[in-house]
Amino acid sequence: MDREGGYVTRPPLLDDFNYDIWKARMIAFLKSMDSRTWKAVLKGWEHPKVKDANGADTDELKLEEDWTAAEDSLALGNSKALNALFNGVDKNMFRLIKKCEVAKDAWEILKTTQEDTAKVKISRLQNLTRKFENLRMKEDESVHNFYMNVMDFANSFDDLGEKLSDEKIVTKILRSLTKKFDMKVIAMEEAQDISIMKVDELIGSLQTYESSVNERLEKKNKSIAFVSNTDDEDLENDMESSESISEAIKQKKSMAATWSDEEEYEEGQESEAAKHVTVLIGIVTSDTESCDEEVSYEELEATYCVIYFPALYCLFFIFC
């Protein structure tokens, strides 16, 4: 027969995850052998004992050669059932029942162990499923790290006998990404058949998109930082100029306080301003006459500083 359907002449094999199926198949298998075999599991079997003069059982076990035909038949049913159970479990479970001499005892041990295990399995699956459904990618989490978290869940499901398909994993990842992947997800869903997409293919595409987004953000942040630094430098220069002007005004007012006569002050002011203007004119004239060749930007800047600040100083003395 086909392997998936099991064997008529072999007992079904019990593992950690198929007890419900195994139980139904094993009952059918035992009944198919003969009725006394299945009854040995239901009712149990006891070793025949020597009877006393009154026909009551004693504690002495009866020798096998002294068994009656009925006792032989019951013992045979127990042996067949026990043999089927011994060959219907894996190595680990065989250790639980290997010392059993009665088929019913072995059956009850397997039932108790596996039904409790099945309840634990169902509880763990429910808890794992709830956590898996609530899993979401964090804002600062990379595609790789999120994928590793998803695969941890997939491995846990596999340990419980519930394998997650590629389609389910792909769907979960696409539904759980952060908002920055929204456009990518829409494009992928429109251009490809998600139901046949491989997990590795999806992760590779998402990582490529993630790298592009991160590069654009990095360039944008650098541009913002550059503009901010430039504005800070301009503001600092403006503050320095304002401080220089303020200092000049203070010096002028201080000088004005020492003069007792307003007319003498004005004449002195005009005289002082005239001196500065004369000096400036001389500087400009000298620079113009001696400048036969082109000058560099640095030289122009230096000349500007020499002319601009004294001129500004004079203007304050004249108009303030």
The per-residue pLDDT for 147 is 96
Q: What is residue 301's predicted lDDT score, i.e. its pLDDT?
A: 56
pLDDT band at 260 (very low <50, low <70, confident <90, very high): very low
CA distances from 75 to 69, 169, 185 (A): 10, 54, 68
Whole-number pLDDT of residue 233: 59
CA distance 151 to 189: 22
| Res 314: pLDDT | 58
Residue scoring higher pLDDT (103 or 299): 103
Higher pLDDT, 38 or 115: 38
The answer to whether residue 298 scores a pLDDT higher than 80 is no
> Looking at per-residue confidence, does 222 or 316 come out higher?
222
CB contact at 8 A, 269 and 318: yes
The residue whose two tokens read 């320095």 is 240
What SS3 class is residue 47?
coil
Stated pTM of the model: 0.49
Phi, psi for residue 138 in degrees, rounded to 5: -80, 155
Provide mean pLDDT across the span 202-229: 81
Which has more confidence, 298 or 211?
A: 211
Length, in residues, of the chain: 320
* Pairwise pLDDT comparison (278 vs 103), residue with the higher score: 103
What integer pLDDT is reported at residue 268 of this predicted model? 52
Lowest mean pLDDT among 146-150, 190-194, 276-280: 276-280
Only one residue has tokens 């025949």, namely: 48
Strand partners, 89: 14
Residue where the block lists tokens 């000049």: 248
Confidence at residue 159, expressed as pLDDT on a 0 to 100 scale: 84
Give the mean pLDDT of 163-169. 94
Residues 6+ apart with CB under 8 A from 21: 12
Q: What is the pLDDT of residue 291?
A: 46
Q: Provide the pLDDT for residue 261.
A: 47
State what percent of residues in the chain have pLDDT above 70. 67
The structure tokens listed for 243 are: 């401080």
DSSP string of 252-288, one letter each residue: HHHHHHH-S-HHHHHHHHHHHHHHHHHHHHHHHHHHH
pLDDT given for residue 14 in this prediction:
92
Residue 228 is predicted with a pLDDT of 56
pLDDT greater at residue 33 or residue 292? 33
More confident residue, 203 or 9: 203
Distance between CA atoms of 37 and 8, rounded to whole angstroms? Answer: 16
Task: Pick 257 or 251 by higher pLDDT.
Answer: 251
Query: Is the model's pLDDT at 232 over the cut of 50?
Result: yes
pLDDT tens per residue across span 79-135: 999 999 999 999 999 999 999 999 999 999 999 998 888 888 889 899 999 999 999
* pLDDT band at 246; cut points 50, 70, 90: low
- Give residue 284's pLDDT: 46
Express as a percent the part of the chain with pLDDT over 90.
52
Mean pLDDT across the stretch 13-29?
Answer: 90
